[in-house]
Amino acid sequence: MKHDDHSLGMDCAITRRDFVNGAAVGAGMLAAGPAFAATPGAGGAGGAGGTQYPPAKTGMRGAHPGSFESAHALRDGQLDVSSAADQGELYDLVIVGGGLSGLSAAHFFHKSMGNGARVLILDNHDDFGGHAKRNQFTVKGKELAINGGTLNIEAPKKYNRWARGVLEDLGIDLAKYRKDNAANDKLYGSLNLKHAFAFDKETFGGRDQVFKVASQIPGAFGPEVFENAPISSKAKADLKRLLDPQQPDYLAGMSVSAKKEWLATNSFKAFLLEKVKIDPQAYWFFQQMGCPTFGVGGDATPALFGWVQGYPGFSGLGLGDIPPDLFADLPGGQHGRQLEDFDAVHFPDGNATVARMLVSRLVPGSTAARTQDEMGTAVFDYAKLDLPGQPTRIRLSSIAVHVEHMGDPATASEVAVRYMNKGSLKQVRGKAVILASWNMMIPYMMPQLPAKQREALAYGVKVPLVYTSVALTNWRAFAKLGVSRFEAPTMYHQEVGLTQACSLGALHHATSPDEPVALHLVKYMNVPGLPRRDQHRAGRANLLGITFEEFERETRMQLLRLLGPAGFDPRKDIAAITVNRWPHGYAYTYNSLYDPVEWVYTETPERPCVIGRQPFGLVSIANSDAAASPHTDAAMQEAHRAVQEVIERRTYPFTPRNV
């Protein structure tokens, strides 16, 4: 152990599994300490409870070991897919991918065809939900839940009709949820907790320093932050100038059209440094602009997006207003939503609540829970997800590696789907198949697709990122500092904060700093200076090379640096750590710095997402990549489109297929 590991608590009892690119380089399974234990009766293998219950697993989650190695072998030409053992199973529909798009596709299919139809969902993870994962802990007898992936229902007022229909069918009542959490919304404010910027000693010299923000709005700040910050006098003056409501026209002499074109084809960083001419130290405050939405910072995000998202510096340009319904029908709506108070809804475990509601309907025997409130503490019996005879079967830890029509795609009546499960290559057959997985994997699974479609499917590079969940025995240090969330642009995790205060049914958020709580930490794997897609590729490679031990050590160290002055002790105060690693995270959205502007600002059918999602024979494609949008409603809309393609072929089998 390193000399400071003892003080960090690296020798405390915690599950630790270290993997590099999926290969075990060392593993230690230590008994759970007194502060952390799996939820009694929480399912586990055979319903026995314990840390084998997928949501309660700690260590490396997200793209966990065992969920991706076969895909890499296929990519590298090291997997022979010809020797699959047929399981003797034929389904009306086989869905590859058990995320929100795949689960919604099963829902739409049964809604149209009735429960007499037989559906199989294959997923590579050991849990359902795709990116909509749940992390849960029990600390000192209190159950905690936090999102391991998909964060919230964003802009529900702008959800497309099919996504709204899913929520209505499931009985998700957002108005009730908001009402139930009215007091929680005021919790941190009632304790006078603020957001804060963390200035790290490596970047600014001296010592780590924290300055609280007067506003409760993330990213909004004023002189209370920068006047005493360890930055130059020029940087302070430039920030004061930039944050003044009265801004000059930094693009004077250009027409409005020319201004918008310049902003669309130059980065936010270029706008601030070259046009506004702020000091590079002042840009430090804005370098993460774009990361939460696009996975890259201000260096690789169009300046026009900064205007849309309300960043300072644009008020004097005379750009006019953005019509509120612009791109309202574009799946996911990456444009314009930021302008309105979209009243996003965050369940304690993010959109894992939606996934759990879907599974409770698709496989009723897997849980007794049915209502929205019951999902807070619902227990699922994973052994009942894949039983013969039920209308929907969900087969986990089964990564699809090959999809092929049994005969000519123009006339075939079945499709063979081959997948790896428990180290064996297996095969099932479907009368139709929906690929609700990642676009970039599809060309490897279906090499017989037309070249133009394969190229389009491979175009988007998914966003790599990390959501680290930390269970604490208390949050007294946050209360003592008066901080609920840190923005730390140049530290290991760029965002560190208490999870949003919200409750669901019997799952209650802590109301006192003496109670256990969960933290949400975010690490963006951006690599500034590279084009966006190259940043994603490099970030993914970097991420797969990081062991859980490194994540744990850096997490403990960062929390000590931020909270240590208020008495935080990582040995005593950290109960568990779950690292949700997403090398292939959210869908690629088009970016006018690197993609044709018409892909970004119009609904042209020439976009790769449209070309890539075309049906082929009996196979349709449904996922968020198909909309070039990472939003939940986009995934659901694409699921509905794919199901409609399946039903159309089934209803009118005499019509020509797209092959």
Where helices occur in 502-612 by DSSP H, the ranges are 532-544, 548-563, 570-573, 597-601, 608-612
Per the listing, tokens 């058990």 go with 98
Give dist(CA 591, CA 196) in Å, integer: 30
Is 178 in the same domain as 39?
yes
Least reliable range by pLDDT among 48-62, 320-334, 543-557, 612-626 = 320-334
Asked whether residue 488 is domain-assigned, the answer is no
Region 225-232: mean pLDDT is 93
* Percentage with pLDDT > 70 across the chain: 90
pTM for this prediction: 0.93
Per-residue pLDDT band at 218 (split at 50, 70, 90): low
Say whether pLDDT at 124 is over 80: yes
Asked, for residue 436, whether it belongs to a domain, the answer is yes
Q: What are phi and psi of 374, to 5 degrees?
A: -65, -20
pLDDT tens digits for range 631-652: 899 999 999 999 999 999 999 9
For the chain, the domain total comes to: 3
Model confidence at 39: pLDDT above 70: no
Tell me the C-alpha distance between 369 and 203, whole Å.
Answer: 50
The pLDDT assigned to 44 comes to 29
Determine, yes or no, domain membership for 658: no
Residues 17 and 90 in one domain: no
| End position of a domain, from candidates 339, 373, 407 | 339
Q: Which H or E run includes 429?
A: strand 424-430
Residue from 496, 416, 433, 512 nearest 83 by CA: 416
**Domain match, 470 and 545 both:** yes
Kind and range of the H or E run holding 576: strand 574-586
Residue 160 has a pLDDT of: 86
Per-residue model confidence as pLDDT tens digits over 75-98: 989 999 988 999 999 999 999 999
Distance CA(146)–CA(160), nearest Å, equals 26
Banded pLDDT at 329 (limits 50, 70, 90): low
Q: Are residues 212 and 307 in the same domain?
A: yes
Same domain, 441 and 333: no
User: Phi and psi (nearest 5°) for 597?
Assistant: -60, -30
- Mean pLDDT, rounded, for 184-209: 95
Q: Is residue 85 part of a domain?
A: yes
One domain, residues 625 and 607 = yes
In a domain, 597, yes or no: no
Return the higher-pLDDT residue of 559 and 24.
559
Is 325's pLDDT higher than 70?
no
d(CA 344, CA 324): 17
Give yes or no for residue 336 having a pLDDT over 80: no
Give the per-residue pLDDT at 21. Answer: 40
In a shared domain, residues 330 and 439? no
Phi, psi of 641 (to 5 degrees): -60, -45
Task: Using pLDDT thresholds of 50, 70 and 90, give the confidence band for residue 308.
Answer: confident
Say whether both 43 and 73 belong to one domain: no
CA atoms of 554 and 556, how far apart (whole Å)? 6
**Looking at the predicted structure, is the pLDDT value of residue 391 above 80?**
yes
Average pLDDT over the chain, rounded to whole? Answer: 90
- Range 582-599 average pLDDT: 93
Task: Characterize 216-237 residue by residue with b for buried, 16 or more Cβ atoms within 10 angstroms of its Cβ, and e for exposed.
Answer: eeebebeeebbeebbbeeebbe
| pLDDT tops 90 at residue 1 | no
Nearest partner of 38 among 23, 52, 24, judged by Cα? 52
**Domain interval for residue 508:** 5-62+131-151+174-186+463-481+493-517+525-583
Distance between CA 627 and CA 11 in Å, rounded? 46
Q: Are residues 145 and 100 in the same domain?
A: no
Residues 399 and 438 in one domain: yes
| pLDDT, position 17 | 43
- Is residue 429 over pLDDT 80? yes
Give residues with Cβ within 8 angstroms of 644, minimum separation 6: none
| pLDDT tens-place string over residues 50-68 | 458 999 999 999 999 988 9
Sheet holding 415-421, edge to edge: 85-91, 424-430, 415-421, 398-405
CATH of the domain at 94: 3.50.50.60
Sheet holding 209-212, edge to edge: 59-62, 574-586, 463-472, 517-524, 495-498, 483-487, 194-199, 209-212
Residue 15 placed within a domain? yes
In this model, does residue 566 exceed pLDDT 50?
Answer: yes
Distance separating alpha carbons of residues 412 and 94, to the nearest angstrom: 15
The answer to whether residues 207 and 290 belong to one domain is: yes
Do residues 46 and 119 both lie within one domain? no
Pair 490, 203: CB distance under 8 Å: yes
Give the residue-averaged pLDDT of 117-138. Answer: 97
For 146, 170, 232, 395, 579, the CA distances from 124, given in Å and listed in that order, are: 22, 25, 50, 9, 18
657 dihedral zone (left: phi>0; alpha: psi -120 to 50; beta): beta
H or E element: which one contains 639? helix 632-651
Residue 84 is predicted with a pLDDT of 94
Confidence (pLDDT) at 330 = 60
